[in-house]
Chain A
Amino acid sequence: MNLDRAYLGFYLGAVFAATLIHDPVWLACGLGLALLASGRKAMGILRQALFAVLTFNLLISLSYILMAWLQDVSPWVTLIRLNLRVLLITCLTFLFIARVNLFRALDFSPGLTFVLGLAYSQALTFRRAQDDFRLALASRSLKPPRLIDRYRASAAAAAWFIEKALHAATQSSQALRSRGFFND
Chain B
Amino acid sequence: MTEIRYRPVGVDAPAVMRTIDLGHHFGGESARACEVLRDIGFTLRSGEKSVLLGCNGSGKSTLLKILNGLITPSHGRVFYQDDEINPARLKDPILHRRFRAEVALLFQNPDAMLFNPTVFDEIAFGPRQIGLPDIEARVRHWAAEVGVSAHLSRPPFGLSGGEKQKVCLAALMVLEPKVLLLDEPTAALDPRSTGWLIDFLASLPVAALISTHNLGLAPELASRALVLGENHRLIYDGPIQALLTDMEKLAAANLVHTHRHRHGDIEHRHTHVHDWQ
What is the CA–CA distance of A132 and B105 in the complex, to the nearest angstrom? 12
Q: Which residue of A lies closest to B105 (CB)?
A: A139
B68 at interface, CB cutoff 8 A = yes
B107 at interface, CB cutoff 8 A = yes
What is the CA–CA distance of A140 and B173 in the complex, to the nearest angstrom? 12
Interface pair A142/B101, CB less than 8 Å apart = yes
Among the stretches A71-79, A85-93, A151-159, the one at the interface with B is: A151-159
What is the CA–CA distance of A141 and B11 in the complex, to the nearest angstrom? 33
A47 at interface, CB cutoff 8 A = no
Question: Which of A133, A136, A143 lies at the interface centre, i.e. has the most chain B CB atoms within 10 A of its CB?
Answer: A136
What is the CA–CA distance of A153 and B157 in the complex, to the nearest angstrom? 12
B65 at interface, CB cutoff 8 A = yes
1/0 per position for B165-185, CB-CB distance to A under 8 A? 000000100010000000000
What is the CA–CA distance of A139 and B104 in the complex, to the nearest angstrom? 7
B277 at interface, CB cutoff 8 A = no
A138 at interface, CB cutoff 8 A = yes
A123 at interface, CB cutoff 8 A = no
Cβ contacts under 8 Å, A33 to chain B: none
Interface pair A142/B96, CB less than 8 Å apart = yes
What is the CA–CA distance of A16 and B116 in the complex, to the nearest angstrom? 46
How many pairs of residues, A versus B, come closer than 8 Å at their CB atoms? 58
Interface pair B100/A139, CB less than 8 Å apart = yes
Interface pair B126/A133, CB less than 8 Å apart = no
Knowing A141-B129, A143-B97 are in contact, say whether A132-B107 is a contact too (CB < 8 A): yes
Knowing A133-B112, A159-B157 are in contact, say whether A140-B126 is a contact too (CB < 8 A): yes
What is the CA–CA distance of A111 and B157 in the complex, to the nearest angstrom? 37
What is the CA–CA distance of A143 and B98 in the complex, to the nearest angstrom? 10
What is the CA–CA distance of A137 and B105 in the complex, to the nearest angstrom? 11
Interface pair A136/B112, CB less than 8 Å apart = yes
User: How far, in Å, is A160 (CB) from chain B's closest CB?
Assistant: 5
A135 at interface, CB cutoff 8 A = yes
What is the CA–CA distance of A135 and B105 in the complex, to the nearest angstrom? 10
What is the CA–CA distance of A159 and B157 in the complex, to the nearest angstrom? 9
User: How far, in Å, is B158 (CB) from chain A's closest CB?
Assistant: 11
A129 at interface, CB cutoff 8 A = yes
Interface size on B (CB < 8 Å)?
Answer: 28
Knowing A142-B126, A143-B130, A149-B115 are in contact, say whether A136-B107 is a contact too (CB < 8 A): yes
1/0 per position for B92-136, CB-CB distance to A under 8 A? 010011001100110111011111110000000110011000000
1/0 per position for A83-106, CB-CB distance to B under 8 A? 000000000000000000000000
B70 at interface, CB cutoff 8 A = yes
Interface pair A140/B171, CB less than 8 Å apart = yes
Interface pair B115/A135, CB less than 8 Å apart = no
Cβ contacts under 8 Å, B108 to chain A: 132
Interface pair B70/A152, CB less than 8 Å apart = no
Cβ contacts under 8 Å, B111 to chain A: 156, 160
Cβ contacts under 8 Å, B115 to chain A: 137, 149, 152-153, 155-157
What is the CA–CA distance of A159 and B107 in the complex, to the nearest angstrom? 18
| 10 A-B contact pairs sorted by A residue (CB < 8 Å) | A135-B65, A136-B112, A140-B113, A140-B126, A140-B171, A142-B130, A143-B130, A153-B115, A156-B157, A160-B111
19 further A-B contacts with Cβ under 8 Å, apart from A135-B107, A141-B100, are A129-B112, A132-B108, A133-B112, A136-B107, A136-B112, A136-B113, A138-B70, A139-B68, A139-B113, A140-B100, A140-B126, A142-B96, A142-B97, A142-B130, A143-B97, A149-B115, A152-B115, A152-B116, A153-B115
Closest 4 interchain pairs by CB? A156-B115, A132-B112, A136-B112, A153-B115
